[in-house]
Amino acid sequence: MTTEPLPEFPAGFRWGVSTSAYQIEGGATAAGRGPSIWDTFAHTPGLIADGSTGDVACDHWHRHAEDVALMAGLGVSAYRFSVAWPRVQPGGSGPANAAGLDFYDRLVDDLAAAGIDPVATLYHWDLPQPLQDAGGWLHRDTAARFAEYADLVAARLGDRVKLWITLNEPFIHMSLGYGTGEHAPGRTLLFDAFPAAHHQLLGHGLAVAALRARTAGPVAIANNYSPVRPAGDTDADLAAAAAYDALHNRLFTDPLLGLGYPDLLGLDPGLVRGDDLAVIAAPLDVLGVNYYNPSGVRAPEPGSPLPFELVELAGYPRTAFGWPVAPDGLRELLTGLRDRYGDRLPPIQVTENGCAYDDVPDAEGRVHDPDRIAYLDAHLRALRAAIDDGVDVTGYFVWSLLDNWEWAEGFTKRFGLVHVDFGTGARTPKSSYAWLRDTAIRPGGTRDGRTATAPADAAPAARRATSDAE
C-alpha cells in the first residue's frame, strides 16, 4: 500500500456500504415470511460448504438498530440493503404482507434519523419458492409478478428511499443459478438458461415503470462486470474472449441502453415479444457497477459445450476466495464502459467492491485486516483515476458492512468491515472500518457538513427494534 495520501473525491460523492437480505437478516419465518429458493437450496444436504443456512445469518432482523449505529459511526451517507421478496409476498403474488413491510419501514426510518440515505435493492436472488415451482425466471410470468412486487414496496417506502435498484447481478444469478447449478435454484442448463436473462431484464423494465408510477426516486440496476483478458493472442483466444465479454458484460447492458442483445450470443429470437426491448431500455438514472476481479479466458478444448474456457490469471495476489486482486481492473472497467456506450451511459455508482479474507480476532478481541485496507486503498485510487479520466462516477459502496452468510460458501468467507461472531452475533469493527472512516469518508471529521457519529438513541432504538420484530 502506498504511503501517499488518498486523493479527495468530488463534493457530494456518495459513500456507502452494501448488504443483502438473505445473507444478513435471519428471521426465516418471522412475521409471515415465506420460503425462498435459497431456503430450499441451503437446506438441501451437500450444497453449502459448511452445511449452514441463512435461517439466522447475522440476525439483522433483531439487531438492525445496532447495525444502523455502526453505519452512522462509520460515517457513510448511504446504505444499500435488499428487500426480501418472500417477506413482502410469501407466495410470490397477491397483496402485501404488511408485517413483513413493517420491518423495512422501521429500517428506513432509522436510517433517515441517522442521516443515511436508504438505497433499496428489490431483488438480490431470493425468489419466493412458489414462483420457482411455477418455472422461476425461466417463465415469462415471473417478470410480471416482479413488477407487482415492486409496486407494493414502492407504495410503502417510496417517499423515503433515495435510490431504487431493481436487480442485483442478473448475470451471476442466471449463470450460477440456472446455468451451472452452483447457486439456487440449482439448475444446470448452460446456454439454455438464456430465458432467465431475458425475463430478468423484462422484469427490470416493468419494475422501472411501476416504481416511476409511485415515486420520483431515481432508478438503477446493479450489474456485475469483469474485464476480460485473453490468455493468448491467437484468433481462437480472441474469439473466446469476445464471446465471454458478450455474455458477462454486454448481455445485461446492451439491451438496457437501447442496443438490443449482442449478436454473438445467438439468443432464441422467440424469447423477445412485442415491445420487450423498449420496456427493457427504459432510461436509467444510475448504472450500478459491481466489480471484484477480471477474468482470464482462452479458446475451449474441442467438444466443449461452451465457446470459451475460464482460466486463472497469473501474477496477482489473491483473496481468501481465490479471486485475483487487480485494482486497475476497476479503472479499466469504468473507462471501458464510457468508451463503449458513450452518451448512452448514465452516471455510475460502484454498488459493490470488496474482498474476503480470513479475519480472526486477536487475544484482545481486536480484528486487524491489513489486506482489506490495502485492497480498498488501491481500488479507491483506481476509482479516482477513472473519475480524473472523465468517467461520471457519483458513489462507492463497500461490500460489505458485515461478515455474512456467503451463499454456497456458507459462513466460510468474511467480506465485512465489521467482524461477526456467528455463534453470538457480536459485532466488532475491524481496523478497515476505522481506516475507511478516517481516511476516505471523513478525513476532516464530518460527513456532508455533519458530524458522523452514532445516534445518541442507538441503544433504545435497538431495544425497540427487537421488541417490535418479535
Annotate 102-137 with DSSP letters as a single string: HHHHHHHHHHHHTT-EEEEEEESS--BHHHHHTTGG
Q: Quick one: angle between helices 60-74 and 458-469, nearest 10?
A: 160
Residues 324, 382: contact at Cβ < 8 Å? no
Tens-digit pLDDT profile for residues 75-90: 999 999 999 999 999 9
Answer yes or no: is 223 a known binding residue. Answer: no
Answer yes or no: is 148 a known binding residue. Answer: no
Which pLDDT score, from 0 to 100, does residue 446 have? 41
Strand-strand pairing, 418-420 and 427-429: antiparallel
CATH number of residue 87's parent domain: 3.20.20.80
Q: Quick one: angle between helices 141-157 and 98-113, nearest 10?
A: 50
Residue 392 lies in a domain: yes
Nearest one of 228, 227, 288, 229 to 256, comparing CA atoms: 288
Indicate if the pLDDT at residue 461 is higher than 50. Answer: no
For 275-297, what is the mean pLDDT? Answer: 98
From residue 168, give the alpha-carbon distance in Å to each of 126, 222, 225: 11, 5, 12
Mean pLDDT of the chain: 94
Residue 160 lies in a domain: yes
For 197-218, what is the mean pLDDT? Answer: 98
Boundaries of domain holding 137: 14-469
Q: How far apart are the first and last CA of the chain?
A: 45
Residue 9 lies in a domain: no
What is the distance between the alpha carbons of residues 283 and 288, in angstroms, rounded to a whole number?
14
Which pLDDT score, from 0 to 100, does residue 251 have? 97
Answer yes or no: is 312 a known binding residue. Answer: no
Indicate if the pLDDT at residue 289 is higher than 90. Answer: yes
Partners of 224 in beta bridges: 290
Answer yes or no: is 406 a known binding residue. Answer: yes
Answer yes or no: is 349 a known binding residue. Answer: no
Q: Catalogue the active-site residues.
A: 169, 352
Confidence band of 267 (pLDDT split at 50, 70, 90) = confident
Share of the chain above pLDDT 90, in %: 91
Which pLDDT score, from 0 to 100, does residue 440 have? 96
Residue 1 lies in a domain: no
pTM > 0.85: yes or no:
yes
Domain total of the chain: 1
Nearest one of 256, 52, 109 to 101, comparing CA atoms: 109
Residues 15, 440: contact at Cβ < 8 Å? yes
Nearest one of 292, 290, 296 to 326, comparing CA atoms: 292
Tens-digit pLDDT profile for residues 420-454: 999 999 999 999 999 999 999 987 444 443 333 44
Residue 353 lies in a domain: yes
Residue 5 lies in a domain: no
Residue 251 φ then ψ, to 5°? -55, -40
Nearest one of 104, 98, 91 to 36, comparing CA atoms: 91
CA-based torsion, 121, 124, 126, 128: positive or negative = positive
For 56-69, what is the mean pLDDT? Answer: 98
Tens-digit pLDDT profile for residues 208-249: 999 999 999 999 999 999 999 999 999 999 999 999 999 999
